[in-house]
Amino acid sequence: MLGIKEIGIYIPVGREPNHDKKEKWGIDDTFLRDKIGVDRHAFRDPGEEATDMGYKAFQHLASKIDIDRTKVEVLVFVTQNPDERMPHAGTILHEKIGLPYTCASFDIPLGCSGFMYGLSVITGFMKENGMTRGLLITADPYTKCVNPEDKNTSLLFGDGATATYITDDPVLVPGKYVFGNLSEKWREIKLVDNWLYMNGPAVVKFVAKYVPENVRRTLEKNNLKKEEIDRWIMHQASRFMHKVISENLDISPDKMPWDCRDYGNTVSSSIPLLLEKELHNKQHKHYFICGFGIGLSWGSSVLRRV
């Protein structure tokens, strides 16, 4: 039985406040609070690359739990902003952590669904290869590709990283997943001239239609009722999208935390950043986890406390 043993996180100390941008974008406090939900974005240090951020998340993980680096068997690195176009960033992080040459590594270039895909891929790969110790690291310096002059994206995204230790002695174990990929809409979130373009209304429409359906299918597949979920750990896209989902599914906001006011939408790191706070909260038995975004791509599962 493989699952999540421990999680380390890294949010850069640098912050950029959204409140300074109110006049520029003609927006007010209500809009920032209720539609965006982000007061300040986390900004990486100048020159800080994806693997630097991932390494800091690993250091936090290693400060919480003893990890024998010589026994780690696989490193899966989720990022859309790798240090280099080639080779894969996973090998650069592999060197920084000091993993042995017997430890496999590969990248998964996904955004807001990246942790969900990553978790299923790494556990599947570990089972397929009889492995018991793996690292799933998410790190995306999105401020590299967010244009400060774009109102649609510059109010939302922040930099962050996480390191999840997967072992055969887990605290939380994933159940069955449901994945999706609405490829006909891939043009709604993409790079244009190296800057992130996002068609906000199209993305909201997608989220309102596909995420609740995906949640229902995931619960069904896991034989769980909505009421049995203690905490809903949803990707922190925007406050408005978060509300659309909780209202559609009739879930109390108390059970579906909005956590990123101080650091922003950290893409593939949003879910493990929240899970890190919950990991040792024994009051909660079942978590629903769900990521969705660029691709358009999404994935859900549940986590059960062992």
Q: Which residues bind a second copy (CB under 8 A)?
A: 74-75, 80, 82, 84-88, 90-92, 94-95, 99, 101-111, 117, 120-121, 123-130, 145, 176-177, 179-184, 186, 189-191, 194, 196, 210, 294-297, 299
- Cβ proximity to a second copy: between 67 and 251 the closer is 67
SS (H, E, C) the chain: CCEEEEEEEECCCEEEECHHHHHHHCCCHHHHHHHHCCCEEEECCCCCCHHHHHHHHHHHHHHHCCCCHHHCCEEEEECCCCCCCCCCHHHHHHHHHCCCCCCEEEEECCCCCHHHHHHHHHHHHHHHCCCCEEEEEEEECHHHCCCCCCHHHHCCECCEEEEEEEECCCCEEECCCEEEECHHHHHHEEEECCEEEECHHHHHHHHHHHHHHHHHHHHHHCCCCHHHCCEEEECCCCHHHHHHHHHHHCCCHHHCCCCHHHCCECHHHHHHHHHHHHCCCCCCCEEEEEEEECCCEEEEEEEEEC
- Cβ proximity to a second copy: between 98 and 148 the closer is 98
- Cβ proximity to a second copy: between 91 and 248 the closer is 91
Pick the closest to residue 235 from 180, 285, 275 (CA basis): 275
Q: Give the nearest distance from C-beta 43 to a second copy in angstroms.
A: 20
Q: Give the nearest distance from C-beta 20 to a second copy in angstroms.
A: 28
Q: Give the nearest distance from C-beta 52 to a second copy in angstroms.
A: 15
Q: Give the nearest distance from C-beta 224 to a second copy in angstroms.
A: 17
- Cβ proximity to a second copy: between 163 and 256 the closer is 163
Q: Give the nearest distance from C-beta 190 to a second copy in angstroms.
A: 6
- Cβ proximity to a second copy: between 12 and 180 the closer is 180
Q: Give the nearest distance from C-beta 303 to a second copy in angstroms.
A: 15
Q: Give the nearest distance from C-beta 98 to a second copy in angstroms.
A: 9
- Cβ proximity to a second copy: between 92 and 279 the closer is 92
